[in-house]
Every structure is written in C-alpha cells, then in structure tokens.
Copies of this chain bind each other. A is one copy, B any other.
Amino acid sequence: MVVGVGLHPFGRFPDKDLSALAIEAVLPALKDAGVKWKDIAIAYFGHVYYHGMSMGETTLSKLGLTGVPIVNVENACSSGSTAFWQAYWGITTGLYDTALAFGAEKVPRGPVTVTAEDSPERYIGGDHMMAGYALRSKRYMEETGAPATALAQVSVKARQNAAMNPYAHRKDTYTVEEVLNSRMIADPLTLYQCCPTSEGGAAAVLCARENLADYGIDESRAVSIAAAVLTSGDYNGRGADHSAFSPYRTEPAALQAYEMSSLGPEDVDLVQVHDAATIGELQQIESLHLFPFGEAWRGTVEGRTALTGDVPVNTDGGLLAMGHPFGASGIRMIHETVTQLRGEAGPRQVANARVGVAQCSGAGDVTTVHILMRG
C-alpha cells in the first residue's frame, strides 16, 4: 500500500541542488506516512541527468546511515515511476516490509533531446521531443478530424486544474485562443501545448498491508496498489512506429494492469497520464481504453476529462502545468492519485474517487501503468 506521499514544489530553484529537491520531498512523505527513516527497508531513487554518482545514497545519507539497499534507477521520463514500480516489487514479493520511492530532476532549459550529444540523431534534429509530438498531432488531426481547438482545450483544462494546486510550476489560466496564439514551438504545437522544463522532487512510502500495524500506520489513509506494470517497446500490431513517441506503447501495459487488478477502464474514477504535449494526453487516454481510439478529443471538448467530467484526467495540472522533472513526474502522479483517493485534494477533489490510474511514458519505449485503489 502507499502510506505516505510528499512533493517538493515543481518550478525553478536555482539555489537548490538535486539532493535538496529530493530530500524535501522525502521528509514530508515520511511524515505523511508516520514512519521514520530508520523504518525504511529499501529505497529507489529516479533521476536522469548526471549530478555525480550515487545521488540517492548521497541524498539519504543526510538522514543518517542505516545500511539498507539504495538503488538509482533511470528510465527517461519514467524514471520516477520506475522507482515506484521497483519499490512496489520489493513489498509485494515479501522481501521488505517498507520501501521508499523518490525522484528529483533539474531539467536544463531549452529543447529536450533524448540522445547523447554526439549521436547521429542530434545532427539530423530527429530527436527533438516536440518535433515528434508535432508529427503525432498532425497525423491525429488528419485521421480523426480533431480541430486545433480540441488540442488547445487539453491545455486549458490542465491550467485550470493547476490553478488549484500549490505545487504546480505554472498556475496561470488561459483561453483556447490564448493557447493557440502562444509562440509556435513545432507546428501545430504552440508553447502552451508543451510542458515546461522544470525542477522538483516527489516521494512515496510503501508498506505491506499486513505490516501497517507494526509501524503504527493509519490504515484509513493508506491506498492499495492494485496493479504495477512496466513494459518496454512491444510490437503489438498497431503499425511499425517504434519511436519513443508512439502512444500505442501504452496499450499492452494497460491491458496487463487491468488484468493484474481485475479492474477495467469502466472502473477508473480518475487518471494521470503522460501529457508532455497536449496530443500525449489524448492518445494516452485512448491507449488506456478510457475513450475509443480517435475520440478522446471529442470527450475533451465535451468536458468529460475535466474535474467534473466522468473521466477526470490530470487533475493536478499534469506535465503541462505541473512541469516535468523527469525523475519526479511518475511519483508526482502517484502523489496526486493518493491525494484524490484519500479525498484530500481540496478544491480540485474529484467526487467519489475510488480507483485511480497513473500512466507514464519514457524514451526507450518504457511505459508504466499503476492502478491505485481506496481501501
């Protein structure tokens, strides 16, 4: 079960190093869980960029030496959710009573690329993240008839949710027109349709259900993990698009997660997905079978993905407004899901939230899907 969550606000923090962002998420997560650092049996830290070796250990050593295994994991944008997946695995196998998943990132300003500086992809410009998303947007609009205003609406909604979230990098709201008129990044994606590069930290504390009492954890605030799935690329019949940007990588992971949890799309009360660009949200919620393929844009325009809709998506503002510190984002989604399932989301609370899904994608065709459940 997830028994505690913590966030460092997302944004820009030039005076803080990676460890500071991380530890300031870990401490509130421990406090939220009501457990002490000495009670943690294993820890996984997610981050991408090099800030020195063994950053997870360096960070946690500030809390004192306890000798437990600490492992740094990297899976691009899914680095945080990979840390969470590993922590879950530690608990569910019975190897450990408790686990800590945490992540942080200081993403450099400017366009994000996924390859090494001296790679051929850099020379031809083929690995510019938003270029890939722009191509997907064009194709989606062509194949589904989605107008540009539908994509913009994804961002409008994200910003509205974020305006009620003190942790968000971007809290201003915009109209559809303002989104469409913002600076062009990669046609048809304008600035406000792309997630900002950000810094931040996130943490989650996990504990086996049968051990909650041993650690004095309040079961009423603990949230079950009904499924935890991590996949890499898989040829699943939906074309030969093997790029990191393919939304269809999510479908196999989603199907595994539904099977693992004995839940289906019809049970999902709210969902956090990887919306590095507006098109991402539309395609991910289709891949999760929450909307038929090609129809998520219609559901968005109709308000079905808003907080008051029947499928609320990215209730905290998503990557588009929270920002996207790679190592933290996947755990930030867990933070939001747990907060909603506990009924503690304040003005952005989704009514009667019982089942929440968190989906995160990463370069290298990594996809994680976690299903959390109240009780």
Contact = CB atoms under 8 A, between A and B. Distances in A.
Contacts of A57: 75, 232-233, 363-366
A163 B75 CA distance: 38
A228 to B, nearest CB: 10
B71 A73 contact: yes
Interface string A101-137: 0000000000000111001000000000000000000
B67 A71 contact: no
Nearest to A253: B67
B119 A52 contact: yes
Given A89-B95, A93-B95, A364 B71 contact: no
Contacts of A86: 71
A48 interface: yes
A82 interface: yes
B366 A51 contact: no
Interface in A52-88: 52-58, 60-61, 65-77, 82, 85-86
A362 interface: yes
Residue of A53, A68, A70, A364 with most partner-chain B CB within 10 A = A53
A242 interface: yes
B74 A232 contact: no
A252 interface: yes
A85 B69 CA distance: 10
Nearest to A367: B67
A54 B76 CA distance: 6
B50 A50 contact: yes
A232 B68 contact: yes
Interface residues on A, range: 35 or more
A319 interface: no
23 contacts: A17-B119, A18-B116, A48-B53, A49-B50, A50-B116, A53-B115, A54-B363, A55-B364, A57-B363, A57-B366, A65-B234, A65-B235, A67-B232, A67-B233, A67-B234, A67-B252, A68-B231, A69-B85, A69-B230, A71-B75, A72-B75, A73-B74, A93-B95
Given A72-B75, A75-B72, A232-B70, A366 B65 contact: no
Minimum-distance CB pairs A-B, first 5? A54-B364, A57-B364, A67-B234, A53-B76, A52-B116
Given A53-B362, A364-B57, A364-B58, A65 B232 contact: yes
Interface in A1-58: 17-18, 48-58
A53 B71 CA distance: 17
Contacts of A70: 75, 232, 364, 366
A51 B116 contact: yes
B54 A116 contact: no
A232 B116 contact: no
Contacts of A115: 52-53
Given A67-B231, A67-B252, A73-B72, A53 B114 contact: yes
Nearest to A242: B65
A67 B18 CA distance: 31
Contacts of A364: 53-58, 61, 70
A233 B54 CA distance: 12
A90 to B, nearest CB: 8
Most B CB atoms within 10 A — which of A49, A56, A67?
Answer: A67
A136 B369 CA distance: 47
Nearest to A252: B67
Given A57-B365, A89-B95, A234 B66 contact: yes
